[in-house]
Homo-oligomer: A and B are copies of this chain.
Amino acid sequence: MPAGIDLDRLVGRLDAIARHGALDGGGVRRLALSDADGAARDQFVAWCRAAQLQVRIDRIGNVLARRAGVEDQLPAVVIGSHLDSQVNAGRFDGALGVLVGLEILMTLNQSGVRTRHPIEVASWTDEEGARFNTGMLGSSTYIGRLDLDDALGRADPDDVRVRDALERIGYDGDAAVPGPPLRAYLELHIEQGSVLENAAIDVGVVDRSYPVCHLDVRFTGETAHPGSAPMERRRNALVGAARAIVAVDELIRDHGPDAKAGCGVISVWPNRSGIIPSRVGARFDFRHPETAEVRRIDAEIEKALHDAAAAASVEIEIVQRATYGGRPFHPGCVAALEHAAAARRIPTLRLATQAAHDATVIVDRYPAAMVFCPCRRGISHHPDEHVDPARIEASANVLMDAAVALAEGSDDL
């Protein structure tokens, strides 16, 4: 077994990728399938090829780079994450997991380790959903949860389709989706929370994910003249939405520190000076680690939405409801991570992921688990996101050892 990854090489690659889509004053904006994402992909693919990995691009643009196994027909152990980012993001969210995967395969190459199963590093397309409004787009398509044509047809706010955006940056690959079965999927990510930092532990073994719920809601009122329409006769859809946003922000605080909810996406029509808005679409999200509590929160939010609409004399409709995650990660993968940590005498902490990730989707179909490393003050989706490089090494080594162990094994997980 190799002693460990080359941390300096990893940090150098993080720096290089952070240049693609760099924001003034730090952080990145590397929206999925943008020029910056394309350049980051090109760089990643070039590194993979230089490391003698066999690169394939599938039809939804996922990049998979393979280190052959001794029994190469066996399903691969995949280590991955994403290179796309939010519009106002840090440099670690996603990119760290992809580059750790590459670093592990390079370390295995240098050590001459051979594994029964192949090991691959994956860079999934559009995990953030920041451009095409659909998170975990690539991994969902890979596992067959999302239909390829549906995925390719999703549009960004400028009405550019995924299909055309992929072609434009040259990532409309030909590998089939859904993709070949995985033996196991492992993902390293920054925690985006403060549990590890507060506990002074470097390695979080993620054994479950919060169920993350999205409610897409439409408020419908009536246009009118803002000068003459009497206040008591107005049916202002924006007032309905505003009441709902305030109510959700307030009610969630009664459910303890693990409960999160809010609204971050809103569209208003006509949204013009001199006319009262008649239509507002809003996406509310909420999450809590316990399913029973999620159900209670869901019911409270639904009541709050209806009360808000009634108070503003507007109609409300819940247009779409989606839930991500909420499943436990695979006990075999979790055990492999904990064994690897124990063998290296690295203390770990079990925790849940509050955010959705590619792993929380992939576990619907294949054995999967995650490793978290601490990030400063839990800040993420903000340029101030920061990870002390020294605190990445332990997680990366644990991930490497667990991947090798899973790639050696012959039993079903």
Chain A positions within 8 Å of B, measured between CB atoms, are 86-88, 128-131, 133, 135, 191-194, 210, 212, 214, 222-232, 234, 236, 238-239, 241-243, 245-246, 249, 252-253, 257, 259-266, 268, 270-278, 283, 285, 287, 312, 353-356, 378-382
User: Which residue in B135, B227, B231, B245 is a CB contact (below 8 Å) of A356?
Assistant: B227
- 17 A-B pairs besides A87-B270, A230-B257 with CB distance below 8 A are A87-B272, A88-B275, A135-B273, A191-B228, A193-B228, A226-B381, A229-B380, A232-B253, A234-B262, A242-B245, A242-B249, A243-B246, A265-B272, A266-B268, A273-B283, A274-B381, A276-B381
Residues of B within 8 A of A283 (CB): 273
Contact of A238 among B214, B227, B243, B245 (CB under 8 A): B245
Determine whether the beta carbon of A265 is less than 8 Å from that of B271.
Answer: yes
Q: Which residues of B contact A312 (CB under 8 A)?
A: 249
Closest to A191 in B: B228
Beta-carbon contact of A227 and B354 below 8 Å: yes
Which residue of B has the minimal Cβ distance to A382? B223
Shortest CB–CB separation between residue A385 and chain B, in angstroms?
A: 9
- Mostly, the A contact residues are loop
Count of chain copies: 2
User: How distant is the Cα of A87 from the Cα of B268 in the complex, in angstroms?
Assistant: 13
Inter-chain contact B262/A236, CB cutoff 8 Å: yes
Closest to A244 in B: B242
State the CA gap A398–B242 with chains docked (Å): 45
Q: Tell which of B128, B226, B257, B261 touches A285, judged by Cβ atoms closer than 8 Å.
A: B226
CB distance from A370 to the nearest CB of B (A): 14
Q: How far is the CB of A60 from chain B (nearest CB, A)?
A: 18
Identify the 10 closest CB pairs spanning chains A and B, nearest first: A227-B355, A242-B245, A242-B242, A192-B228, A227-B354, A87-B270, A193-B228, A225-B381, A225-B380, A88-B223
